[in-house]
Chains A and B, each alone.
Chain A
Amino acid sequence: MSTHEESYYYVPGPSAWPLVGSFALLLMAAGSVMLMNKVGVGMPTLLAGLAVLLYMMYGWFSKVIAESRAGEYNKRVDVSFRWGMGWFIFSEVMFFAAFFGALFYIRVISIPDLSSIDNALIWPDFKSVWPSAGPGFKGEWDPMAPWGLPAINTLLLLASGATLTWAHWGLMANKRTQLAVGLFLTVLLGAIFMGLQVYEYSHAYQEMNLKLSTGGYGSTFYLLTGFHGFHVTLGVLMLMVILFRSLKGDFTPKHHFAFEAVAWYWHFVDVVWLFLFVVVYWL
């Protein structure tokens, strides 16, 4: 071990940002509770919480970027960031696993069970098929077909993974134009994906009668694609920050973990989509 580089470890000084963040989450929780139960001033509280959260993130991340520029983050801090981001993504994987688990349970266990002899007295005509909105659902609806917009969305996200890797190659070879163009294309592809998802949702709601309330299919479809879409949104915002920073001259071929962390996150979102496409839209 070479001594200086390895044993120095930067410990940040006192900071009030964490308290601001916790206050923001309290406001958002209280606002959501009031909004959902139609009491008090729900929406203003929720929006105020969101504003405080954004303010906190801006302040906190600006501080991190300033520390990085000041050269405080050596190799060892960099290793910490890698462990931290890796485990964070693992926790996200487990979050999605809960919803995939619900989908598999409904398809493989509860729908067949509801059509079995046990429930024949209550729902004699219910057939075990998928997609299904359950035995109690009245009305017509259509499931989402895989080979229209969803297939295009798959191609968009796969392409965005490629452009991001191309941007990374540019960064490592110190080709700044390639870096900027690659990032810009990635942001663009992500934004188009989000636009198409919004279009898909409105189409589903207005013309297919496919809603959150469309039984087990609607529940799993919207929660899985919805949380994925939320993660894409976060990913696009993160990519925009990275694009902005690289235009400002941040990141060197050797020192750019912020870029890599966002890339890891983007590829994770990509992989989740592939699972979604196969088990939610296709099969």
Chain B
Amino acid sequence: MNTATTTVNGHSAGHEGHGHHPAGLMRWITTTNHKDIGSMYLWFSFAMFLVGGCMALTIRSELFQPGLQLVRPEFFNQLTTLHGLIMVFGAIMPAFVGFANWMLPLQIGASDMAFGRMNNLSFWLLPPAALLLVTSMFVPGGAAAAGWTLYPPLTIQQGMGMDMAIFALHILGFSSIMGSINIITTIFNLRAPGMTLMKMPLFCWTWLVTAFLVIAVMPVLAGAVTMTLTDRHFGTSFFSAAGGGDPVLFQHIFWFFGHPEVYIVIIPGFGVVSQVISTFSRKPLFGYASMVYAVAAIGILSFTVWAHHMYTVGMPVTAQLYFMYATMFIAVPTGVKIFNWTATMWRGSLSFETPMLFAIGFIFLFTVGGFSGLVLAMVVVDVQMQDTYYVVAHFHYTMVAGALFSAFAGAYYWLPKWTGHMYNEKLGQVHFWLSFIFFNMTFFVQHFLGIAGMPRRIPDYALQFTDFNQISTIGAFGFGLSQLLFLYNIITCIKGGPKAPAKPWEGAEGLEWDVPSPAPYHTWEVQPVVK
């Protein structure tokens, strides 16, 4: 890693209207400051996490017993759909864009993001999209109820809530494409002198690859939902066999977006975990270059495996074989990363603060999710497992124990830099252990349910699935309630707590630790020189 010293290098960056920013609400509405915008992203993401979480708990409550207790089946399907859309597009993606906004300029020695006003627009497009999604529950016919994958013909038949979801996705697409253009431009053009690409912290590299994926596939999703919209209202037949189209066409286009999308969700987490593991092992990251190549390889390969989500819709055996082998091939760069993280810890001077706990928890549980992914990659197995709770267990191991745990790791890791205070370490560790235990309680048993044949997206089930479902529901409530500890810890950390030094973690490296804690409103107006 680089060792950075600050030396004066020419003139400072220009800030229009420096020093007289509007106060109060107008500050947040009009801001072009990457730290303000990062904070708004993070708070928005946490709010959406709670909204999506309440939907998940309603789903789990209904599934506590066989039979219908709480909600109508139609509403249950709306909940699974909105839970998926809100968690993916409203909670996890904005969380990592929030991290990117806060940390990228600090890490590469830039005064701000490349396009300040567009950055603000990227954020402020999120609330209208969230509003469309959430209010769609209250319109005639209710919200979209076809699952977050929005497969026709269901999506062609549903009410106006479906249109609201389509337009919400369009707006979310504008937002994330603009955010990603901003990130790529910032990384390519605003690095401090001497900060070569291969000296960048891994978080920057992972976001570079992620931003590329976003720009490549979000427009494809926009195309897919636009075709759904015209099929619904303007008489086209993209997904109708009578007109020569095919519902499977939607699945191909959707998963051409959808598979890179799940890597968009996880790859920034790889970056966070890489830095956290290195810091608390007090060793440089093992195999930095191979990490960079592995992330790039995962990004490229993500475009070549989409139909492994569709083994059972009917495709030639040769296609199934290709997608099976291509999918398994992704285990190679992913394995490189897992081994590198382990090797970084090997003979390190380890300490187990909350970020490190979440990072190690991430490695364990993400590996479980990776292995169940390999199981599902096999066509003969997947034919049995398709649309069962095994799939639900698999992707929650990657999305919750993967993406969400790495977001927790990053939040605890950088909270001192953001707030200027140390968070409550004991409470953080309690948060980790409760999350870890209740997460496994919720989702590990779902593997068994899936193998036993319980289908997903169904509000009722056969009696023999009851025990595991009850365990899962209790775990879900434990997991959900544990997150209130996180909220409490953040609020107390913002309000007070022990003063954090500029570099609160002994083994941390990187430019972000050269600025004071809390990071001043404007940083790196004079770019540092990296040797």
Residue numbers of A with Cβ under 8 A of B are 1, 3-4, 6-19, 21-23, 25-26, 29-30, 32-33, 36-37, 39, 60, 72, 76, 79-80, 83-84, 87-88, 90-92, 94-99, 101-102, 105-106, 109-111, 113-114, 132-137, 211-213, 215-220, 222-223
Contact = CB atoms under 8 A, between A and B. Distances in A.
B527 A7 contact: yes
A111 to B, nearest CB: 5
Contact of A13 (B15, B123, B181, B222): B15
B164 A25 contact: no
30 contacts: A8-B12, A9-B14, A11-B13, A12-B116, A13-B21, A16-B29, A19-B124, A21-B124, A29-B164, A29-B170, A36-B160, A39-B140, A80-B115, A80-B189, A83-B114, A90-B216, A94-B215, A95-B220, A102-B253, A105-B249, A106-B245, A110-B245, A113-B246, A114-B241, A114-B244, A135-B241, A137-B242, A213-B234, A215-B242, A219-B230
Nearest to B32: A12
Contacts of A218: 236-237, 243
B193 A1 contact: yes
Nearest to A101: B253
A114 B212 CA distance: 37
Interface string B18-31: 10011000110111
Given A7-B526, A91-B218, 6 more contacts: A8-B13, A110-B241, A134-B241, A137-B243, A212-B234, A218-B236
B336 interface: no
Nearest to B119: A18
* Majority SS at the chain A contact face: helix
A25 B244 contact: no
B11 A19 contact: no
B117 A15 contact: yes
Interface of B: 9-18, 21-22, 26-27, 29-32, 110-112, 114-118, 120-121, 123-125, 127-128, 131-132, 140, 159-160, 163-164, 167-168, 170-171, 174, 177, 180-182, 184-185, 188-190, 193, 215-220, 222-224, 226-227, 229-238, 240-246, 248-249, 252-253, 256, 526-527
Given A72-B14, A215-B237, A33 B167 contact: yes
Taking each of B121, B230, B244, which has the highest tally of chain A beta carbons within 10 Å of its own beta carbon?
Answer: B244
A19 B241 contact: no
A29 B168 contact: yes
B129 to A, nearest CB: 8
A213 B236 contact: yes
Centre residue among A8, A22, A223 by max chain B CB count within 10 A: A22
Nearest to B37: A18
Contacts of B9: 3, 7
Contact of B215 (A36, A87, A222): A87
A76 to B, nearest CB: 7
B523 to A, nearest CB: 12
Contact of A98 (B174, B188, B220): B220
B244 A102 contact: no
Contacts of B140: 39
B236 A212 contact: yes
